[in-house]
Amino acid sequence: MPLGIDSALQARVFAVWRRVFDLSWPVMAEQVLRTLMRTTDLVVAGFFSPAAVAAVGLADIYGRLPLWFGLGVGDGAIALSSQDTGSGQVANRNEAVTQALGLGILAGLPFVLFGLVGSYWAIGILGAEAETVRLGGLYLAIIMVTAPAFHVTMIAARSIQGTGDTRTPMYVNAGANAINIVLTVTLAFGLGPFPELSIVGIALATAVGDTLAALTFLLIIHSSVSDLSFVRPTKLVVARQLLVISAPRIAEGITELIAEFPFNAILLTFGTEVNAAYHIGRRVYQQLSSPLSRGYGTAANIICGQSLGRGDPEEAYFNGLAAAGIAVLTVGALGAGIFATAEWVVLVFTRDPATIAYATDFARAYAIATVLIALYVVLAGSLRGGSETRPPFYAKVTGAVFFLLGITYVFGVQLEYGVVAAYVAIVADWLWRNLFVGAVYLRKGWLERGTAMMHERGSLTGDDD
């Protein structure tokens, strides 16, 4: 009997792993190209100067604000899309997607204004040198102008993914990112008939890629290619649920931005090379292992949301744990490889000796944290499949204050351990987040929350009886 139970459990786990892999590999491929685009930005900037690298890295702090807003509303869209796909409530699904896209476009307008009037000030308050402020301000202004398009891209992709179609977003984003990469090199170095635009060329390439992707997604949803359709919004309960789900996720981004200010300021006190090294080390993680984590997290979100939509919370709970297992095994192995080869990998970004040494250590700190990040992303994705986005926000706030900033400042500045404290802080931050979110996951309250919200909007069978 025990052998039979073990065999049945093993077969069940492998079935979930196959489903997770089928859903996640297109997301991984898409994210590899997306991060390769950002990596290309840093590599190309590195050909000009360390100030250019720091400028792109510092501007990216603000650039993550539209990213987090897009992810936040996108999380609301994918949660409702996956749940309503599982329950067969197509009308509710289309309502949620239409409202999410409209919200994304409107919310992008303040970012446009910010880029036009406040970009240089934003870089300057971080304490950067004059040349870094000049370059970073130019870069930030251009990428912020296309924030509405970026929001559409993020929200539309996740809405389509919620239906179980992760390949269409991959095709669209892969094409747009490939165009972005080619334009980055062409415009920055002035290849062919184009003038050498340096940092401006890098930013223009990003703006063009985001705009093309947004227009393509809107055409796909409007056409018969996607299962989704645009409708006239009428349900306030759907709008309210989108905001309830999205707000904590957006707050995560704001928290990250707030934390990045003092964290980068601390690193800048250790030198421009240290700050540039941090962005390089982080980019190594984002390019090599982050796509896998994000892919698994998206898959966990989809399968948990669809299981809840089918009225099977036990299956949703099991699916999340199984997805976490495959993420830990595969991403953990990759992290070990990154740790071993970090010194060679960072050479892709810089040849400055001082920057290389620090970047290698930052890359290794992220390599150690990689398995923790993967586990956290999957558990958080599972919670979001149940419309629960608050715990990851609480974990980020407490982790940023007490671990990322607390350890770096107290041990790095006050006790004069220097940049070593930042390496420790990065790992400690992710360890804490796992403890917090893991405890919430095991209590299963997120399953009840998702079920209750589906009842509220009439998405479960029998709600209309």
Mean pLDDT of 415-444: 95
Residue 2 has pLDDT above 60, yes or no: no
Mean pLDDT of 316-324: 97
Residue 3 has pLDDT above 70, yes or no: no
Q: What is the pLDDT of residues 235-268, one digit of tens each?
A: 899 999 999 999 998 898 788 778 888 898 899 8
Count the Cβ atoms, other than its own, within 10 Å of residue 128: 24
Find the radius of gyration of the CA atoms of the chain.
22
Mean pLDDT of 315-333: 96
**Type of residue at 102:** G
Q: What is the structure's pLDDT at 1?
A: 41
Q: What is the structure's pLDDT at 98?
A: 96
Domain ranges in the chain? 15-456
Count the Cβ atoms, other than its own, within 10 Å of residue 448: 13
- Encoded tokens for 173: 């984003």
The pLDDT confidence band at residue 461, using thresholds 50, 70 and 90, is low
Among residues 359, 210, 278, the alpha carbon closest in space to that of 58 is found at 278
**Type of residue at 355:** T
Residue 5 has pLDDT above 70, yes or no: no
Q: Is the dihedral of CA 186, 189, 191, 193 positive or negative?
A: positive
| Distances, alpha carbon 449 to alpha carbons 246, 333, 396, 452, 454, in Å | 15, 34, 21, 5, 9
Among residues 259, 214, 206, the alpha carbon closest in space to that of 409 is found at 259
Please give the share of the chain, as a percent, with pLDDT higher than 90. Answer: 68
| Distances, alpha carbon 310 to alpha carbons 100, 202, 223, 253, 403, in Å | 23, 46, 27, 31, 40
Residue 465 has pLDDT above 90, yes or no: no
Assess contact for 412 and 421: CB atoms under 8 A: yes
> Which of the residue ranges 127-136, 173-182, 197-206 would you say has the lowest mean pLDDT?
127-136
What CA–CA distance (Å, rounded) separates 184 from 44?
A: 8
- Encoded tokens for 25: 């590999």
Assess contact for 82 and 299: CB atoms under 8 A: no
Q: What is the pLDDT of residues 268-309, one digit of tens each?
A: 888 888 988 998 899 888 888 999 999 999 999 999 999 999
Residue 168 has pLDDT above 60, yes or no: yes
Q: What is the pLDDT of residues 61-110, one digit of tens each?
A: 788 888 888 989 999 999 999 999 999 999 999 999 999 999 999 999 99
Assess contact for 427 and 365: CB atoms under 8 A: yes
What CA–CA distance (Å, rounded) separates 354 from 359?
A: 9
Assess contact for 53 and 192: CB atoms under 8 A: no
HSE value, Cβ hemisphere, 13 Å, CA-based, for 349: 36
Contacts of residue 321, defined as CB under 8 A and 6 or more positions apart, other chains included, come to: none
